Amino acid sequence: MTAPAELLAVATEIAREAGDLARRRRSEGVAIAATKSALADIVTEADQEVEHLIRERLAAARPGDGFFGEESAPSASETGVTWVIDPIDGTVNYAAGIGNYAVSIAAVTGPVDPASWTAQAGVVYAPALGECFHATRGGGAWRGETRLRVSESSPAGALLGTGFGYDPATHAGDLATVAAVMPIARDLRRMGAAALDLSYVAAGRLDGYVERGLQPWDVAAGALLVTEAGGRLSQWEREERRRLFIAGGVSVHDEIVRLLAPKA
């Protein structure tokens, strides 16, 4: 098995090149290439180009590893390592000219399913913000040279993050989830990039995070950041394709679980 630090070195170099490409393309103007699951679920030409670049670089650096990305067909692993990629997380922000978007690259082993894989290394690079978050299994979570630690709970209440699915039919359920957790909230953020939301939980900027319906590539790197920063995660399969994902410092995470647990 390759050491997590070696996987991280590969991921970091590629994430920086990919993020810088995304940022350059953004400054040249953005074209919507297609819509996907719903009208709001857009993909830009840059999403596709950036994923293509990441895939090429990984194939050259790590032949035989598997690939599982948001914008192209998966390929199976021959080495036990699979790369889980979101080329631009926060595509709606990206298209709107809002800088809260990131490249997310993770190396995982085991089944390609966030409930059962083991994340070995992860990078979340936000080129427009100039921030790069990274973690390795057992090696801690970092922003550049700064070690990250999730927040402790505060008597003023928790600063929570969330997100919403693109399909309008899911909005009522998402809003009900938010309503259920608001009793412990000081305030709520919907910043538009799940990989960064999780990085912010790891950094102690957000105290907790909850979202339904996240995809594996949204969470692969960010979830490792949270656990390596001393946080806690839960994933519940409650409805078809609407997996509920909870992250936070230990006490805020546990409070959210208590508020959302099905009542007997």
Q: Which residues bind ligand IPD (CB under 6 A)?
A: 70, 86, 89-92, 163-165, 192-194, 211, 214, 218
Q: Which is nearer to Ca ion, 86 or 197 (CB)?
A: 86
122 binds, among ligand IPD, Ca ion, none (CB under 5 to 8 A by kind): none
193 binds, among Ca ion, ligand IPD, none (CB under 5 to 8 A by kind): ligand IPD
200 binds, among Ca ion, ligand IPD, none (CB under 5 to 8 A by kind): none
Contact 46, 88 (CB under 8 A): yes
90 binds, among Ca ion, ligand IPD, none (CB under 5 to 8 A by kind): ligand IPD
Residues in touch with Ca ion (CB under 5 A): 86, 89, 218
Q: Which is nearer to ligand IPD, 70 or 251 (CB)?
A: 70
Q: Which is nearer to ligand IPD, 126 or 153 (CB)?
A: 126
Q: Which amino acid is at 224?
A: L
What are 134's strand-pairing partners? 123, 142
Minimal CB distance residue for Ca ion: 89
Nearest distance in Å: CB 206, Ca ion: 17
Contact 227, 118 (CB under 8 A): no
110: left (phi over 0), alpha (psi -120 to 50) or beta: left
Nearest distance in Å: CB 164, ligand IPD: 6
DSSP 117-161: -EEEEEEEEETTTTEEEEEETTTEEEETTEEP-PPPP-TT-EEEE
Nearest distance in Å: CB 193, ligand IPD: 5
Q: Which amino acid is at 257?
A: V
**Cβ atoms within 10 Å of 214's Cβ, excluding its own:** 22
Contact 64, 82 (CB under 8 A): no
Nearest distance in Å: CB 222, ligand IPD: 9
